[in-house]
């Protein structure tokens, strides 16, 4: 096993994307409270135009479209075809929303068109985030707002810290990726996020912590909920790719270890695990 394996970046166009489609409803339930906090920070008004970056299966795009109404518009952009396919399939005909398969960091976007640049956990995967934000800024109107939610560091997020700790000694030891390597935790350092946005030309950058308990496992009983939490972790969570190619005995040992550590988390017919995010806002200069 190579060093990258445990921390592999999701292949959004491939298996990770397919799995996110399979577990769309569950993942939406886990991320809902974070997305709502970012939407409140964005404060979309009737008639506004919103760019939803890394929109995935589109839950936030649909919420935003409901907020801006028929006179407004939402464009959801995502690099993953399967995820955009699901987003299109679930969008009601009369919603003012369009979905596009594209790399948001480089695709041609209408210039000066949007009032809001929004994202729910979709902006941490760019190779060159400053260039990506500078590119996306050109699609914004003067004075437009930015609002997104991203994860804080791995060490603060129990949904990844606990299972990663549990499998130590079962899988060969590996070094985590650099804190700035593209991936879910690459915006963990708020100073870095501020530097990226400022260098990309944004002003009024504000970054606030937002913590919430994530319903990671659910079931009729606590045991069923624990089994479910382990399944989510191994199928779609932080260990999914690293364990995919492991022999059955390693997978069984890893499952047991993750289940044991999750047993310490609260919940009656659920397993509630802490998530730690930043709500980031900024502004495109007025001229
Ligand atoms: C953690 S998921 C969040 C999806 C969605 N916003 C949600 O909350 O359900 C990250 C998303 O970013 C997308 N993504 C990654 N890099 C991207 C890029 N360069 N351009 C557009 N989308 C990208 C992935 O395909 C994935 O759907």
Q: Is 237 close to ligand 1, i.e. is its CB under 6 Å away?
A: no
Of 215, 212, 216, 210, the closest CA to residue 277 belongs to 210
CA angle 29, 127, 105 (to 5 degrees): 75
75, 60, 153, 194 alpha-carbon torsion, rounded to 10°: 50
What residues pair up with 207 in beta bridges, in sequence order? 280
Distance CA 53, CA 57 (A): 12
Q: Could you tell me if 57 and 33 are in contact, meaning their C-beta atoms sit under 8 angstroms apart?
A: no
| Residue 169: half-sphere exposure toward Cβ, Cα within 13 Å | 5
Atom of ligand 1 nearest to the CA of 24: 9
Helix (H, G, I), strand (E, B) or coil at 197: helix
**Beta-sheet strands, E only, within the chain:** 49-53, 73-78, 97-101, 114-120, 140-151, 203-218, 270-283
pLDDT at 180 (0 to 100)? 87
Burial of 94 (0-12, 13-18, 19+ CB in 10 A): exposed
In the structure, what pLDDT confidence band is assigned to residue 10 with cuts at 50, 70 and 90?
low
Q: Which residues contact 283 (CB under 8 A, 6 or more apart)?
A: 143, 144, 145, 146, 202, 203, 204
Token pair recorded at residue 280: 């980031």
Distance CA 110, CA 127 (A): 22
List the single range of 39-43, 163-167, 175-179 with lowest mean pLDDT: 175-179
Left if phi > 0, otherwise alpha if psi is -120 to 50, otherwise beta: which for 13? alpha
pLDDT at 151 (0 to 100)? 97
What residues pair up with 73 in beta bridges, in sequence order? 49
pLDDT at 114 (0 to 100)? 98
Distance CA 87, CA 205 (A): 30
pLDDT tens readout for residues 223-253: 999 999 999 998 887 678 778 778 889 999 9
Residue nearest to atom 19 of ligand 1 (CA): 103
Distance CA 116, CA 44 (A): 8
Q: Is 80 close to ligand 1, i.e. is its CB under 6 Å away?
A: yes
Residue nearest to atom 13 of ligand 1 (CA): 54
Question: Mean of the per-residue pLDDT values for the chain?
Answer: 92
Q: 3-153+177-213+276-283: which CATH architecture?
A: 3-Layer(aba) Sandwich (3.40)
Average pLDDT, stretch 64-88? Answer: 96
Q: Is 78 close to ligand 1, i.e. is its CB under 6 Å away?
A: yes
Q: Is 24 close to ligand 1, i.e. is its CB under 6 Å away?
A: no
* pTM of this structure: 0.94
> With pLDDT > 70 as the criterion, what percentage of the chain qualifies?
95
Q: What is the Å distance from ligand 1's center to 186 Cα?
A: 14
Of 126, 127, 120, 180, the closest CA to residue 153 belongs to 180
pLDDT at 8 (0 to 100)? 44
Residue nearest to atom 8 of ligand 1 (CA): 120
Q: Is 19 close to ligand 1, i.e. is its CB under 6 Å away?
A: no
pLDDT at 98 (0 to 100)? 98
């Amino acid at each position: 096993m190579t060093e990258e394996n445990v921390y592999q970046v999701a292949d959004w166009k491939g298996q990770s994307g397919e799995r996110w489609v399979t577990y769309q409803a569950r993942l939406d339930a886990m991320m809902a409270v974070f997305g709502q906090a970012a939407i409140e920070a964005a404060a979309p008004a009737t008639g506004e135009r919103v760019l939803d970056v890394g929109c995935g299966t589109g839950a936030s795009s649909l919420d935003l479209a409901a907020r801006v109404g028929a006179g407004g518009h939402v464009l959801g952009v995502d690099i993953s075809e399967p995820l955009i396919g699901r987003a299109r399939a679930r969008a009601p005909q009369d919603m003012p929303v369009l979905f596009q398969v594209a790399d948001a960091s480089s695709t041609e976007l209408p210039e000066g068109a949007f009032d809001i640049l929004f994202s729910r956990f979709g902006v941490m995967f760019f190779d060159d985030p400053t260039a990506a934000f500078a590119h996306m800024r050109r699609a914004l109107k003067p004075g437009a707002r930015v609002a997104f939610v991203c994860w804080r560091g791995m060490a603060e997020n129990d949904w990844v810290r606990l299972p990663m700790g549990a499998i130590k000694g079962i899988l060969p030891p590996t070094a985590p990726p650099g804190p700035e390597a593209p991936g879910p935790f690459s915006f963990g350092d708020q100073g870095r996020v501020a530097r990226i946005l400022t260098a990309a030309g944004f002003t009024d950058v504000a970054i606030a912590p937002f913590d919430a308990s994530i319903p990671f496992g659910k079931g009729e009983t606590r045991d069923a909920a624990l089994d479910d939490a382990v399944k989510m972790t191994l199928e779609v969570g932080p260990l999914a790719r690293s364990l995919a190619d492991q022999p059955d005995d390693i997978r069984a040992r890893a499952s047991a270890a993750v289940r044991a550590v999750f047993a310490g988390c609260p919940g009656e017919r659920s397993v509630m695990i802490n998530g730690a995010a930043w709500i980031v806002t900024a502004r495109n200069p007025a001229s």
